[in-house]
Structures are given as structure tokens and as C-alpha cells.
Amino acid sequence: MEIALHGHFGFRRLIVSAVPSIMMMLVESIYAVVDGLFVSNFVGTSAFAALNIIWPAVMLVGALGLMVGTGGSALVSKTMGEGDRDRAEAIFSMLVRFTVILSLVFMVPLLVFMEPLARLLGAEGETVRLCVIYGSICALGLPTYMLQLSFQSFYMTAERPQLGTVMSIVGAITNIVLDAVFIIGFKWGLAGAAAATTLASCVSGIFPLWYFSSRRNRSSLRLVRSGMERKPIFQACSNGLSEYVGNISWNILAICYNLQLLRMMGENGVAAYAVLLYYGYIFASVFFGYNIAVTPVIGYNYGAGNKAELKSLLRHSAILLMALGFLMTLVSEISAGPAARLFVGYDPELSALTKHAIRLYMLSFFIAGFNLFISAWFTGLGNGKVSALVSFVRNLVFELGFVFLLPALLGPNGIWLAVDAADLCCLILGVTLILAYRERYGY
């Protein structure tokens, strides 16, 4: 089936169109998990904890690429829906250049302040040194990593989501092979893991620059000569703000979880949470991939004024995501034990803690997919403010509040249940917002 932005999207076409983007995100989540597996099993618990203490801070900056890409893809697809393809390519080109500039602006201060940042995040003693090693090497690869995140959204807008899947597979294989060579073969430890991650992002970030500029490009988008204009850049950033807020919120939450867990359970708590995040990210990548695929479709139909198709997209997406959520919750509950043993089976006590944490935390996935879609829905409609509000309230109001409130009421179990309570509250908010804006957008 042709993957294009125009035409009617029923269940079958939505699924077929979303599969390449879902596969892209699944592959990326799996190689992130493999990275953690190598560190946990071949370097040690302290290095594994250090990786997960400093990585959220690096992602706070790296997620700017996701912001530009997600907000930009909605803007570019809307412009294409309005029939102005030349303007769409000009906006696409200036946003890619803006991503590179943004990465260089933030790379140097991140390198300079890596050690105080590690200490601020709760690292002590040898863990500080490990955080600095991993974080500094990853910071050097920030430009290509931000480009990689940005292009993830543009592949669907260019009607070439399969290319995104291929690049994810190539990046994954590169990362896994280099992990084995650097960590097991060369004995470089945590530095080897960081080097593998950075070099893999070079592959995934540089190739699309060549492809979208080359004569072999047969997609709907091309990198062209264009000036830098404030208005489309601001529109893209403000529209993609929700994805950035969602991502930095996730990383701020990870920092707060780590601080709480260090206080309540020590390094074992941080290690268990790290496994939970790796495992959860595999499941969440299905939702992320779906949203990457459907956001440009929403933007295209909004630009074309096709209100009937918008209504259909909302209804079909809600049904699909709730069904997927039920299935993934069931699978995660059944597989919690094997997942814990895979990561930390060398420590029975830590393995038991991790299994328990996964089973409580992953209950949220029944409704999490639809909550994430609500934010993507408003991004596609160009309403970055409401989209950002949903992400902000879900993560930095509901979940952050429950991270500190529930442990005081329920003890250690409260920290694993925080996301479940937050997603339930967010569902109520999201449905209210969709109903409130129904008349304005005509869906």
C-alpha cells in the first residue's frame, strides 16, 4: 500500500502507514536496551546507575532536536496540504540548519559543566567520575544525535517512513556491534558504551543530510537553499514544544525518581528503575511511532480543511490505541520476571525488586497510549500550547506530585504507582480538552 498523506485513513491504512515508524522507534528502543544490558552485565551496577543518572541530563538538550522535528513536520505537512510544496521544502531546509546551530550552541556548556551537573543529580564518589566519562562522550555527538531525532518525524512527512526504519536498523546494528567490540573486546567499560552510542548516532544523523540533498531523493521533501526566517522557526518550536516538554519532563522525572530512590533504596533502587525505563521504553516506542506517523497526516488534513477525515482519524486512533494499550499491559505483566532476570539476574534481591516495580509501573500502559496521542493530536492541529499543556500537566504536575506524595502514603510501592495515578488524571484532562476544542476544529 502506498504511504501518502492524502486520502482516507481507515484502520488498515492507519496501521500500515504507522508500522514503519513504529518499527523505527522499536528498533531504537531495543538498541538502547542492549546498551544498558552490556553495561549492566559487563561493567557493573555502579556504571549502570551512573549511566542512568547522567543520561536524562544529556537528553534535556538532545530533545531539542525532537522538538524541532515534531513541530516542524506538522508545519511542513500543513503547508503541503495547502498546496505550497516549494514553501514546505524551504521550511524543512531551514529547520534542519537550525537544528545543527542549536546543537552547537548547547554542546560546549554541557561539556564544561558535566561534573557539577553529575553532583547536582545526586552522584557521589566514583559515580561522579563515571557520569562525567559517559556524559562527555555523548555530548560530543550532540549535533548528530539531535539531527537523528529531528529526521525521525520528517521521514513520514516526506512519505518515506520505511527509510526511517532502515536507518534505525543500521544504527542499531552499529551500536550493538560497537558495544561488543568496545566493552567486551577492548575493555573500555562505560566509555566504550558512550562511544558506541555516539558513533551510531553519527550514522543515523548524517545519512539523511546526504539523502535529502542528493539526486537520488525521490521523496516529497528536499533540502534546498533557503534563508533563515524567524516566523516558521518559532512556529515549529512552539508547536513542537509539547514533545520537548514531554521529553524533558520525562528526564526531570527520571532525575526526581533517582533522587527519591537513592534516598529510600540506594543504588539498587536506581538500577531497578533503570531496568523499568528500558523495558517500558520498548512498549512506549509503539505509541511514539504511531504518533510520529499520524501527526503529519493530521496536519495535512487540517491544512486541506478536511474536517470529516480529522473526525475519522480521532475515532480510529482512540480505538486502536486503547486496544494496543490493553495488549501491552497484559504482555508486560506476564514478562516482568524474565525481563528482570535478563538485566539483573546476577543479583536475586535486585531482580525481585525489579520484577515487582515493573508489574506496578506498567499498569499505566492501558491508557498511556491515548494520553500521548492527545498531545500529538493538538500538535498536528498546530495548537502547540494545548499540546504542551497536556504533556506538562501529565508529567510535571500529576506524576511529579505523585512521586513525592504516594511514597509518603504507601511507602516504597507508592513510587512505582505514581505513573498509574498520573495517567488516570491525565485521561480525564485530555478527554475534556478534546471535547472543549471540538467545535473550533470541526472534528
pLDDT tens digit at each of 443 positions of the chain: 456 788 889 999 999 989 998 998 888 787 667 777 899 889 988 898 899 889 878 888 998 998 999 899 989 999 999 999 999 999 999 999 999 999 999 999 999 999 999 999 888 889 999 999 999 999 999 999 999 999 998 998 998 989 988 998 999 899 999 999 999 999 999 999 999 999 999 999 999 999 999 988 989 999 999 889 999 999 999 888 877 877 777 777 878 888 888 888 877 888 888 888 878 888 889 999 999 999 999 999 999 899 999 999 999 999 999 999 999 999 988 999 998 888 788 888 889 999 999 999 999 999 999 999 999 999 999 898 898 889 889 888 999 999 999 998 998 899 999 999 999 999 999 999 999 999 899 88
What pLDDT does 1 receive? 47
pLDDT at residue 261 in the model: 87
Closest CA to 409 of 417, 398, 399: 417
Q: What is the pLDDT of residue 2?
A: 52
Judged by DSSP in three states, 10 sits in coil
Element (H, E) at 64: helix 45-81
164's enclosing H/E stretch is helix 161-179
pLDDT at 247: 72
Q: Where are the domains of the chain?
A: 11-441
Place of cell 552485565: 41
Angular region, 125: left φ>0, alpha ψ -120 to 50, beta rest: left
Tell me what pLDDT residue 264 has.
83
Q: State the pLDDT at residue 281.
A: 82
pTM of the model: 0.75
DSSP 222-291: --------HHHHHHHHHHTHHHHHHHHHHHHHHHHHHHHHHHHTTHHHHHHHHHHHHHHHHHHHHHHHHH
> CA angle, corner 408, sides to 46 and 250, nearest 5?
50
